[in-house]
Amino acid sequence: MLGSNFYEEADRMSAPQWLLVEVLDDGHPFVVAVGETPRKRVALGSFIRSDDRSSALSAVREVRATNRAVTSSSRGRSVVAEPIADDVSGLVHGVWLRVGYGSPDTSRRPSAWAFTWDLATGRGRRSAIASEDQSWSSLGVQQTYSFAEGLDKLDLGSDTVGVLADVVAGVPGRVLQVRGVERRPDGDDRALQIVARFGRPGGSGAPCRGIVRGVSVDLGSATDVSESSSTGASVAEAVARSLRRPGEYRAVLDPETMVLLHWDGDAPELVQWQRTGLDADGAFVHPDDVEVVRSAARAVDEGPRDEVSSVRLRARDGLYKEVPATVHNVSLADAVDAILLVFHDRVAEQAR
């Protein structure tokens, strides 16, 4: 684990680097990156040199409380702390922190942004990018998305199953720290580090699923990152591909909310699953069929058979189309299952 010696040595040898501090846990800031270099979460108080510890912690606490940048100086050393916040709620998810001599240079700081996932609805939103020369609109990136839509553009490699398991389990306080590659519309795919914390539902009348808040940092072009996670395939993945029939689609659903989490393979073109089509009170599975799917999944547990049900899925014209579907349970982790809904492209034929 890196401690004060690392930061003190770096301070002497070169201009101080920006530290990315996540503040998702009340009162406990953690360093998760030094510039573009990701770090395992380490408490800020243990990471930074003792002479600067009090002023750094105080600055981070103030930024978190006010969502405003803080600058102070003592004996020629400056402390600069700037928020990375949800631009709707105003909650601060992360803080860029620089401690040392000289004036801060924000051009040496990578892009970062806050994001929020609503596990009950499957909708997510990334806040404005914390960058002086970039915006999401200039990059062609949508700020709001469905969970499946976001994951479809994000290659997490071998961490995908673990992330899905954590989403289905939805344990408050659980922290994720993963690296992945985000596919961008302009072809400039980016390597990211993602840190997220699962929160509790908002109030007694709220659904069981809570809110996930997090912060992402751009580590640079994905071409500089090892491609082993995307090119290598496990035996299980190879077997799954061999069993998939032509024109068959496989949707992974949260068994509690029926939110679409992930496509195992390609997504069908004529089925509506992106956020833009689901915002208008349109769930992926018809609300009256939710219990049908759950019952089918429970029936699978009772015997070695696949349960076939008639399920209505939302098409791009806004109407629901009835299709025969096979329901399976898929184990994501110990005691954590998701529903696998398998259907053929006849849903596309009916949607025409």
DSSP string computed for 8-63 = HHHHHHSSPPPEEEE--STT--EEEEETTEEEEEEEHHHHS-HHHHHHHHHHHHHH
> Which tokens hold the place of 71?
């600058």
Q: What is the mean pLDDT of residues 199-222?
A: 77
Q: What is the mean pLDDT of residues 283-312?
A: 80
Q: Is the pLDDT of residue 308 over 90?
A: no
Strands 112-118 and 92-101: what pairing? unpaired
Give residue-wise pLDDT tens across range 165-181: 999 998 999 999 999 99
| Contact present, 323 and 315 (Cβ < 8 Å) | no
Q: Which of 31-35, 226-230, 292-296, 302-306 has the lowest mean pLDDT?
A: 226-230
| Rounded alpha-carbon distances, angstroms, from residue 114 to 58, 196, 216 | 21, 10, 6
Q: Is the model more confident about 117 or about 101?
A: 117
| Contact present, 327 and 309 (Cβ < 8 Å) | yes
When pLDDT is cut at 50, 70 and 90, the band that residue 12 belongs to is very low
How many CB atoms neighbour CB 345 within 10 A?
17
CA distance 126 to 136: 9
**For all residues of the chain together, what is the average pLDDT?**
83
Q: What is the pLDDT of residue 281?
A: 56
> Which tokens hold the place of 81?
């702390």
Nearest to 153 by CA among 110, 127, 185, 121: 185
When pLDDT is cut at 50, 70 and 90, the band that residue 155 belongs to is very high
Domains of the chain: 4-108 (3.30.450.20), 112-229 (3.30.450.20), 233-351 (3.30.450.20)
CA distance 197 to 93: 10
| Contact present, 19 and 29 (Cβ < 8 Å) | no
> Nearest 5°: phi and psi at 18?
-80, 135
**What's the N-to-C CA distance of the chain in angstroms?**
58
Element (H, E) at 230: helix 228-231
Instruction: Give the length of the chain.
Output: 352
Q: What is the pLDDT of residue 88?
A: 92
| Rounded alpha-carbon distances, angstroms, from residue 172 to 150, 215, 339 | 21, 17, 22
Q: What is the pLDDT of residue 117?
A: 92
Q: Is the pLDDT of residue 95 over 50?
A: yes
> Which tokens hold the place of 262?
């992930």
Q: Is the pLDDT of residue 203 over 80?
A: no
Q: What is the mean pLDDT of residues 40-58?
A: 91
CA distance 181 to 153: 8
140, with CB counted inside 10 A (0-12, 13-18, 19+), is exposed
Q: What is the pLDDT of residue 91?
A: 95
Nearest to 142 by CA among 155, 161, 125: 125
